[in-house]
Amino acid sequence: MTPSLTISPVDDGAVQVTVTIPADQSNHFVNLFNSLSGSGATPVTDSVPSRPRNKTISELDKERAEQAKAAYFELIAGLFDKYTAEGFKRNDAIKRIAADLRARNHCWSSTDLVRSFLPAAGRPGTRGPRPEGVS
């Protein structure tokens, strides 16, 4: 798309200015217009279309996401097996896994994420019998 500018005369010596620009540049144009006109806000601002939010996800992106998830599941399952084999209880193993992930600057390193993804990684938590009177 090529930007264009059209100026048309209207009543009482005024002109109508029409600017056609790519949508992703519209916010910059409105900000420039506001700064040049000296007004705090222009009615044009309300009608500026936002960038499209429904970005199409390519098959390659989906495949990469699935690979990243599978690698994460494999990593936390392996660490869980290592720590439970060393005698750590489930909660302590989860805390150590989260600490290991934080040390690696992994984006999914929170204890809550590790705990919630362990079942999907093949390490479901099993609850033992509860003592009487505890619900």
Q: Quote the CA–CA distance of 81 and 97 in Å, as a whole number.
A: 10
Question: Are 72 and 93 within one domain?
Answer: yes
Q: Which of 126, 15, 121 is nearest to 69 (CA)?
A: 121
Do the domain assignments include residue 122? no
Q: What is the pLDDT along the chain (135 residues), one digit of tens a residue?
A: 566 778 888 888 787 878 788 777 777 777 776 666 665 555 554 555 555 555 677 888 889 999 999 999 999 999 999 999 999 999 999 999 999 999 999 999 999 999 999 999 999 876 545 456 544
The number of beta carbons lying within 10 Å of the beta carbon of residue 95 is 16
Q: What is the pTM of this model?
A: 0.53
Question: Are 74 and 108 within one domain?
Answer: yes
For 99, the enclosing helix (H) or strand (E) is helix 90-103
Domain encompassing residue 10: 4-47
Question: Are 43 and 72 within one domain?
Answer: no
